[in-house]
């Protein structure tokens, strides 16, 4: 074998033993992963404290109880007596309202002197004096009739304070045609109630106007001033004018600087009384030579 062939065979054997693979093709060595939780940073920019949710309405003052003021405790006791609609013992009222009504003499005297508190000395029970005294639908209608005959209606709120079922009874009476009710324009709540003297019957009248005629009435539009004057003049009519006011008074004939009547003579007031008797101070003094 020639020298050239031996060198070629040696070179091929070297190529077969050499690894020419790139490091990019090799798989990455396994790196252990630390699964322990990372410590939270104390920086205020990375951590935000969550506010606890609460149902407190901060626009309203918190109810902290009856307090220690006598007048505040009196209001709590009177309001609770108003809401019960039944007579109560003083001890029960003190426990329910957490007020010292049975031990505080000043509070008890103010409570008894209240114009809405009634005390029965026989039974020793206290009750609230409502503006109206009724507990059923018939008595409510009688009270409404009495007030309407006097020339006015009754606020529904006052009736509700006397009897909590009054609004429902008023709606029933309105459906029966016994009363007339005014309502608020915002939410349609009951406002005032009046007795309906004319019952809604075909013989006596008093029935509601049909919706067709109500729509026709509301569709009518009043013309403006220019069109109204033009229509009146076309019919040979004139617009009424305002009533003439009182005639203006003529200019005053009194002269400036003078008041009515003749001026009275001015009296001279003498102050130098120590000269009285020797010199007449009401005249000009001329010394004698």
| pTM over cut 0.95 | no
Q: Which pLDDT score is estimated for 192?
A: 92
- Report how far residue 121's alpha carbon sits from residue 115's, in angstroms, rounded to the nearest whole number: 16
Q: Which pLDDT score is estimated for 62?
A: 55
Q: Which pLDDT score is estimated for 127?
A: 87
**pLDDT tens-digit map of 132-167:** 878 888 889 998 998 888 888 889 988 888 888 889
Which single residue is written with the structure tokens 């006052």?
158
Under the phi-then-psi rule, with left for phi > 0, alpha for psi from -120 to 50, and beta for the rest, what region is 257? left
Q: Which pLDDT score is estimated for 25?
A: 47
**pLDDT tens-digit map of 199-245:** 766 565 666 678 898 889 889 888 888 888 888 888 888 877 654 44
Report in angstroms the alpha-carbon separations of 93 from 98, 108, 167: 8, 12, 28
Q: Which pLDDT score is estimated for 23?
A: 46
The answer to whether 180 and 196 have CB atoms below 8 angstroms apart is: yes
Q: Which pLDDT score is estimated for 49?
A: 62
User: What's 131-157 look like in SS3?
Assistant: CCCCCCHHHHHHHHHHHHHCCCCEEHH
Sites in the chain below the pLDDT cut of 50: 22-25, 243-245
């Amino acid at each position: 074998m020639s020298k050239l062939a031996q060198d070629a065979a040696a070179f091929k054997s070297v190529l077969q033993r050499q690894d020419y693979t790139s490091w990019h093709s090799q798989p990455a060595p396994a790196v252990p992963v630390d699964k322990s939780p990372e410590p939270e940073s104390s920086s205020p920019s990375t951590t935000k404290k969550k506010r606890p949710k609460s149902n407190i309405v901060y626009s309203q003052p918190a109810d902290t109880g009856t307090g220690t003021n006598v007048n505040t405790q009196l209001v709590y006791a009177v309001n609770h007596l108003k809401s019960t609609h039944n007579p109560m013992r003083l001890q029960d009222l003190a426990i329910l309202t957490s007020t010292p009504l049975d031990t505080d003499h000043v509070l008890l005297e103010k409570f008894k002197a209240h114009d809405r508190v009634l005390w029965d000395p026989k039974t020793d029970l206290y009750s609230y004096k409502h503006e109206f005294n009724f507990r059923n639908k018939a008595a409510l209608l009688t009270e409404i009739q009495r007030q309407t005959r006097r020339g006015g209606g009754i606020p529904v709120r006052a009736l509700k304070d006397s009897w909590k079922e009054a609004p429902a009874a008023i709606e029933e009476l309105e459906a029966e045609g016994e009363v007339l009710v005014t309502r608020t324009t915002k939410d349609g709540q009951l406002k005032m109630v009046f007795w309906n003297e004319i019952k809604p019957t075909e013989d006596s009248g008093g029935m509601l106007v049909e919706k067709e005629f109500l729509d026709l009435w509301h569709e009518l539009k009043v013309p403006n001033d220019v069109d109204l004057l033009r229509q009146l003049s076309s019919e040979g009519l004139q617009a009424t004018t305002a009533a003439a006011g009182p005639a203006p008074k003529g200019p005053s004939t009194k002269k400036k600087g003078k008041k009515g009547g003749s001026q009275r003579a001015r009296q001279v007031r003498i102050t130098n009384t120590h000269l009285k008797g020797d010199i007449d101070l009401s005249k000009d003094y001329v010394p004698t030579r």
